Structure 1
Amino acid sequence: MPDDNRRPIAVRSSGWARGTAALLARSAITPNQISCASVLFALAGCAALLQWPDAPGLLLCALCILLRLLCNMFDGMVAVEGGKGTVTGPLFNEVPDRLGDSLFLVALGYAVMLPWLGWLCALLAALTAYIRVLGGSLGQAQDFRGPMAKPHRMWLLGIALVIAAALPSWSHRLLIATAAIIAAGSALTCITRLQAIAARLHHGADA
């Protein structure tokens, strides 16, 4: 039975994902440790982007984004499908995500020499999550809609980093455009989620 408070991820049902999650579940590794590992990958990606803002650093940051997303998927799979969830699991599921988002997005702002834009992206990213959880606190299923939910932000940034590494003459402008799209998309996501929550509240009041 689907969990309305769990982010839908299509690849979660693939054979390789299930096999890897089962292997992790049989090991001594805990879901909370996997969640914390996502922050370490975010720190490594942040350092790579700031210290080596050329092709190797951009590609390393993109790899760290991918590894962070895999951690975000496997922590839930090991907790739920693997039966290793803990009472503090919800905290480890949310807090490392917010840290990881902020690290990557703030680093992006400094990398393009527009720190305010990176901080704006991080603020709006955190606000999308706050609104999602707010809906849950009101008794609604948590709303993971976009257009710029966490996976959308991270995949966009990861792809942009790879393209920027391949096109160094366009790198700076491309990453500025990516940050601007993330900020605008995150703001729009906040609006769409708030509208959906309000509509459900009105529907409940009228029922």
Structure 2
Amino acid sequence: MLPLLLSLLSLLLLPSSSCASDFCVADLKGIETPAGFACKKVSSVTVDDFVFTGLGVAGNTSNIIKAAVTLAFVDQFPGINGLGISAGRLDIAVGGVVPLHTHPAGSELLYVVHGYILAGFISSANGVYYKYLKKGDMMVFPQGQLHFQINAGRKTAVAFVSLSSPSPGLQITSFALFANSLPSAVVEKVTFLDDAEVKKLKGVLGGSG
């Protein structure tokens, strides 16, 4: 009996390689797959892989949408690989907007910390759900649904978001339509906009064709 107990105790006290199953820090030098990134070797993991400091700094809102989205997805925060979470920060200047967009692989929870935000989403059945939010309010946007945030106040609005995937994806509808090389004639067909309007929007957003 004693030899058996000693054997079990020795197994418990051995340096464990099982800590690799505790986490899977992303090896960003590898290729991302639908299952995530491959794991970094545990021997090369450091505490910095589990820390992200970028959300404490206001984003630059000097752009066409007067808003900044600071992401803490797996590409910026390798420690969240495989954990089903990510985060971000929204800074929306007066008159600013985070246009209609979608996260194909994750739901989003928005928490307002400063200012007023008009936020909403459109369901796949074209139901519309929107609300004016103030400091302390939260709103959830279900996975894959088109949603938006607009500054509804007289000062910069700030919100933090959490998402249910380390790599939820981000596609902004306006940029998807007008910031690429899809021929204008095709865009006109799928949007019912006339040629002048399509070319104007392509010019504003940097598209061609």
Please confirm whether the aligned pair reaches a TM-score higher than 0.5, indicating the same fold: no
TM-score, normalised via structure 2 length: 0.31
TM-score, normalised via structure 1 length: 0.31
The structure with more strand, counted as a fraction of residues: 2
Greater Rg over alpha carbons, structure: 2
